[in-house]
Amino acid sequence: MAEKKNLPEIRFNGFSEQWEANEFSLMVTRISSISGKVGLPRVEYEDIISGKGELNKNIYQKDSSKIGIEFDNGDVLYGKLRPYLKNWLLSSFNGIAVGDFWVLRAIEINSKFIYYLIQTSTYETAANQSTGTKMPRSDWNVVSKTEFFIPKIKKEQSQIGTYFQHLDHLITLQQSKYDKLVNVKKAMLEKMFPKEGADVPEIRFKGFNGAWEERKFGKCVLIQRGGSPRPIENFMTDDENGINWIKIGDVAIGSRYITKTKEKIISEGEKHSRKVQKGDLILSNSMSFGRPYIMAIDGCIHDGWLLIRDEKKMFDLEYLLQLLSSDYMLNQYRALASGGVVINLNSELVQSTNVLIPNKDEQHKIGYFFTHLDHLLTLHQQELEKLKNIKKACLEKMFV
């Protein structure tokens, strides 16, 4: 049997010693002291942001007297119920863990190293060998006996833990920047489009005045539902000259354009579908309903999409995209839907909405403003994904 490798692919300079294998139970003590001590904050599953190891609220403001496992500053909380939810926390305070947590206290090992060890794929594999099906829980008998390699020198453990803590800090900062920009866009969509009952927006570019014109959307544009040739597998092709078959999965993260597709269909499939062209808008009518995208390619859409074609050239395309993304439209969908709950959009419902239309110059200004904002959002999102991918890669390469 081949020996397990006992050195990571990436290592800090100055360290050359072999890492040593230890059972997890020799690396941590599993704390089980039940407490209901008054004055200690309670941490529950719902308080932790999944996969981030951050609290989503000020737990000192929680009014709770629940009992649980008492933990100390530096202990690691690991959510054993549905371990794939990644409810873990490196505590920076004393408190009480309420619910299905393991409280892990490092034995002669840097606690930050342990905290990032439990985020590795090696640990996840052991932790997800769970008991139960409906409510799976990590099995301590499995995890405690699993061997992990650790550096002998505490300084190396500390440097690894500190490196990942810094990476987490950068991810948190980037997430905060992105979230703030999302909120800016949300606020501007509310203020740069008229509210219900109004015919002018709260915020307007200089040089524009007068009321916006209200029209039935179905009188302004062509709205048609997509269609699917069935059985779809009979119409698929690997021919690069095939017709683009547009699916929800073809939407790039953060993009408002459809630029390519993973699949294509034969020309015969077009007769049973809906052809769309560059410059058309398509609107998702089921999952994540009401999300509009601009076509940058020709293709065919299935019945999970609605085609919106501005045949009368009444709209600036970017303006129309943002209008369809606004609460002004989403609120109308809900109001017009049976019971006020929108499960699927249909062409009749979208046609019956009202739209407010400024002149083309003002439309262009609004569209350009939001296009620039969307570009910034995409850049921030890409930077966030890059940092997350760096962390994922480093967890693989800096642990054994």
- Model confidence at 217: pLDDT above 60: yes
pLDDT tens-digit readout, 58-69 = 999 998 999 999
pLDDT tens-digit readout, 228-276 = 999 999 999 999 899 999 998 888 777 889 999 999 999 999 999 999 9
CA-based nearest residue to 178, from 39, 399, 37, 386: 386
Asked if residue 82 and residue 37 are part of one domain, the reply reads: yes
pLDDT tens-digit readout, 69-80 = 999 999 999 999
Asked if residue 349 and residue 327 are part of one domain, the reply reads: yes
- Model confidence at 341: pLDDT above 90: no
With bands split at pLDDT 50, 70 and 90, how would you rate the model's confidence at 1?
very low
Asked if residue 164 and residue 182 are part of one domain, the reply reads: yes
Radius of gyration (C-alpha) of the chain in whole angstroms: 27
Asked if residue 320 and residue 257 are part of one domain, the reply reads: yes
The answer to whether position 1 is within a domain reads no
- Domain with residue 343: its CATH number is 3.90.220.20
Give residue for tokens 């501005």. 310
- How many whole angstroms separate alpha carbon 156 and alpha carbon 310? 62
Assigned token pair, 132 = 């139960």
Q: Which residues does residue 4 pair with via DSSP β-bridges, in sequence order? A: none
The answer to whether position 14 is within a domain reads no
For the chain, how many structural domains are there in total? Answer: 3
The answer to whether position 15 is within a domain reads no
Q: How far is CA 281 from the centre of its chain?
A: 24
Asked if residue 190 and residue 121 are part of one domain, the reply reads: no
Among 82-91, 286-295, 390-399, which is the least confidently predicted range? Answer: 286-295
- Residue-range definition of the domain harbouring residue 272: 213-356
The pLDDT of residue 326 = 87
Asked if residue 351 and residue 365 are part of one domain, the reply reads: no
- Model confidence at 4: pLDDT above 60: no
The answer to whether position 262 is within a domain reads yes
The pLDDT of residue 340 = 55
The mean per-residue pLDDT over the stretch 176-181 comes to 96
Asked if the bond preceding 231 is cis, omega within 30° of 0, the reply is yes
- How many whole angstroms separate alpha carbon 98 and alpha carbon 66? 7
Among 42-46, 125-129, 269-273, 282-286, which is the least confidently predicted range? Answer: 282-286
The mean per-residue pLDDT over the stretch 7-31 comes to 94
Asked if residue 199 and residue 282 are part of one domain, the reply reads: no
Q: What is the mean pLDDT of the chain?
A: 92
- Model confidence at 95: pLDDT above 80: yes
- Domain with residue 205: its CATH number is 1.10.287.1120
- Model confidence at 288: pLDDT above 90: no
The answer to whether position 3 is within a domain reads no
Q: Which residues does residue 244 pair with via DSSP β-bridges, in sequence order? A: 264
